[in-house]
Amino acid sequence: MKILVCISNVPDTTSKINFTGDNKNFDKNGVQYVINPWDEYALTRAIELKEAKGGSVTVLNVGEADAEPNIRKALAIGADDAIRVNAHPKDAYFVAQQITAVAKEGGYDMILMGKESIDYNGFQVHNMVGEMMGIPSVTPAFKLDMVDDSTARLEREIEGGKEVVEVKLPFVASAQQPMCEPRIPNMRGIMTARTKPLKVVEPTGAEAKSEYVNYSKPEKKSGVKMIDAENAGEVIKLLRNEAKVL
């Protein structure tokens, strides 16, 4: 079984975020990057399936050279090899096109990724890839098991409950907690990751369908107002006139 796991290189949530060029570009200076946390669920579950059923796990990233340290981290966690599409991830459509091109060429049985990236929270790529490849897309899944060599069973969230789905290979799925416990690389994994294959390919000629016009930070929160417990009328007034929640 060949599994392709797509990972994004995203800013750590503890990083201080700034923008440059009239707020049209993200400022990378001083920003620490990590593997997208949702993708770590997909990666770990893929490795668990490989260990249980055999096969291989390939990591795919659409990104520039600065993503390679986190690609190597994914290899250290347990992936067998990696592919980097040498392009800035312009938008979800562009990324999905790149993933589709690699997946079709590689003939993978399963394409896994996180339900969304924590930088743009788009929740789009997995469904686009399924549509472009003409195969099922199950999202967002919090459980994934193999029924037999050609069929998987997934559980996914629906409004008010869960849905159990059985699907034939190949398929696309996005992962979320509690699919598994994400792994961290051990020393042996870190050492072997240095020699594992990391192939760099050029992007297809696909064009992005959207562009980011500008960015802005959330407004700073105003100070806390302390109201006397006996003055309920003032609380109602503030909620109605300032907070505008009544």
pLDDT tens, residue by residue, 92-109: 999 999 999 999 999 999
Structure confidence by residue, pLDDT tens digits, 180-227: 999 999 999 999 999 999 999 999 988 888 888 888 888 877 777 788
Rg (alpha carbons) of the chain, rounded to whole number: 21
Q: How many angstroms separate the CA atoms of 179 and 37, rounded?
A: 12
Structure confidence by residue, pLDDT tens digits, 28-69: 888 999 999 999 999 999 999 999 999 999 999 999 999 999
Would you place residue 25 in the very low, low, confident or very high pLDDT band (cuts 50, 70, 90)? confident
Q: What is the largest CA-CA distance in the chain?
A: 70
Q: How many angstroms separate the CA atoms of 219 and 244, rounded?
A: 16
Architecture of domain 2-215: 3-Layer(aba) Sandwich (3.40)
Q: Under a CB-based contact definition with an 8 Å cutoff, are residues 20 and 129 in contact? A: no
Q: Under a CB-based contact definition with an 8 Å cutoff, are residues 83 and 201 in contact? A: yes
pTM, two decimal places:
0.85
Q: How many angstroms separate the CA atoms of 88 and 101, rounded?
A: 16
Residue with token string 């294959």? 197
Q: What is the DSSP string of 148-191?
A: ETTEEEEEEEETTEEEEEEEESSEEEEE-TTS-------HHHHH
Residue with token string 């993933």? 99
Structure confidence by residue, pLDDT tens digits, 126-177: 999 999 999 999 999 999 999 999 999 999 988 889 999 999 999 999 999 9
Torsion angles phi and psi, residue 152, rounded to 5: -115, 150
Residue of 58, 96, 60, 102 lying closest to 80 (CA atoms): 58
- Proportion of the chain above pLDDT 70, given as a percent: 100
Break the chain into its structural domains and give their ranges: 2-215
